[in-house]
Amino acid sequence: MMKVTDFGNDFLWGIATAAAQIEGASNTYGKGASIWDTFSRRNGKIKKGHRPTIACDFYHQYKKDLALVKALGFKIFRFSISWARIFPYGSGYINQEGIKFYHQVIDECLTLGLIPYITLYHWDLPEALSKNGGWTSFSINRDFNQFVSTCAKAYGDKVKDWLVINEPFGFTSLGYMLGVHAPGETGLHHFFAAVQHTAIAQADGGRILRAEVSEANIGTTFSCAQILPYSTAEADSLAVKRIDCLMNRLFIEPVMGMGFPDAGWDVLEKFKISHSTWRYQERMSFDFDFIGLQNYFPLVIKFNAFVPVIQAWEVKAKKRNKPHTAMGWEINDESFYHIIKQFAAYPKVKRIMITENGAAFQDRLLNGRIDDKERIAYFKSHLQALLKAKNEGIDIVGYLVWTLMDNFEWAEGYQARFGLVYTNFNTQQRIIKDSGYWWKSFLDR
């Protein structure tokens, strides 16, 4: 039987969260609107018309929620800073109420013996900046650098562990190409502009933290997925290369000093030429202390000539009769192992932390209990895969569960439940699920 000690005494276990998904208090205490506040007011953008206005009310209940993190046995609490809570107008004026709030969260973590990990950007751009182009505008880098510097100076004496950007491919593709996430922009023009500015920002952010925070442990996170072909056909294999280039390589290779990848794909080759990306290759590079990997599922890809640009199509887990979560994501611990190996193969990757991993299921509250045995099985199998990779010599330093409690799951609203703790969004009651108790038992061994 797998034991927590199998991972080593210095292995770090924690919980990951995001400001826009849990905080609430979205238009009070001096906070400005974020793109998710605005996006959620547009008809049809969020399931059931849900909004992050209250979310989990973490702003008012952070002490109780941090006590839960402690009670479940975790050591790390990863949270993000709402840019619009610090800079209501995106830049310039600093909201001292926002500065004070995160000091309170950090101080409570330290009082409880928790290690705070700060994510600087977790998708909630100030609406004021979005009106000027947001991540598609070169001016975003100046504003982001001001935000990073302000946070580093405010909290750097207390917090040494930092993550610059959460899943750059996630928010640039969903928000600036497909339009299904905030700010709802579409098209390659918006996407590639956002990609370039984000790649610059993640390296700039690292350099600012290095200069401002003594003894800082600096990382950034990448969403990732093993990409598999549907068949042995050459067209499917080429489609896999294109998707892998976008999903897995697009942001880590600039960090490594390699520039943007293209895999011989004319779309990316034209992007590199039209945006003169070579000019920024050095600026996009930074020597991170660790990288965060965030994996939930593999993708099985089939060539499809009718899909614009990428000419590829995902063959869903359900269609392939594979086990899947409530999100339709395939449950495959072997792919988790392989994607860790893929990223570890980059020579300049020093250490890896799993900064998100988890699953949503159709949780039901029955007689005051949530029996989520599927989630427990998911964690067990994925931890076994993680241990396999670690035992093969990959320097994996920690694992963060997504997430503490059910929350505002972006375009899914409050329907998708990922938490170890059940949230009643009407009463804000928290109920620890069986998976939460499983983690407590596992970490106590």
CA 378, 379, 380, 381 dihedral sign is positive
Q: Is 23 a catalytic residue?
A: no
Find, among 162, 159, 185, the residue nearest to 174 by Cα. Answer: 185
The pair of structure tokens assigned to 176 is 């600036």
CA atoms within 13 A on the CB side of 352: 29
176 marked as binding residue = no
Q: Work out the number of other CB atoms within 10 angstroms of the CB of residue 229.
A: 19
**Measured between alpha carbons, how far is 375 from 132 in angstroms, rounded to an integer?**
42
Among residues 108, 167, 185, 253, the one annotated as catalytic is 167
**Measured between alpha carbons, how far is 20 from 32 in angstroms, rounded to an integer?**
12
166 marked as binding residue = yes
Q: Strand 161-165 and strand 217-223: pairing?
A: parallel
Find, among 67, 65, 148, 14, the residue nearest to 430 by Cα. Answer: 65
The pair of structure tokens assigned to 199 is 């790649």
Q: Strand 299-303 and strand 227-229: pairing?
A: parallel
**Measured between alpha carbons, how far is 84 from 128 in angstroms, rounded to an integer?**
9
CA 25, 31, 34, 40 dihedral sign is positive
9 marked as binding residue = no
Length of the chain: 445
How far is CA 179 from its chain centroid? 18
122 marked as binding residue = yes
SS3 for 405? strand
21 marked as binding residue = yes
**Measured between alpha carbons, how far is 155 from 151 in angstroms, rounded to an integer?**
6
Whether omega for the bond prior to residue 150 falls within 30 degrees of 0, making it cis, is no
Measured in degrees and rounded to the nearest 5, phi and psi for residue 259 equal: 75, 180
Q: Is residue 19 within 8 Å of 59, Cβ to Cβ?
A: no
Q: Is 215 a catalytic residue?
A: no
**Measured between alpha carbons, how far is 62 from 54 in angstroms, rounded to an integer?**
13
Q: Work out the number of other CB atoms within 10 angstroms of the CB of residue 359.
A: 24
Which burial class, exposed, middle or buried, applies to 28 when counting CB atoms under 10 A from its CB (0-12, 13-18, 19+)? Answer: exposed
Catalytically active residues, by annotation? 167, 356
**Binding-site residues for substrate:** 21, 122, 166, 296, 402, 409-410
**Binding-site residues:** 21, 122, 166, 296, 402, 409-410
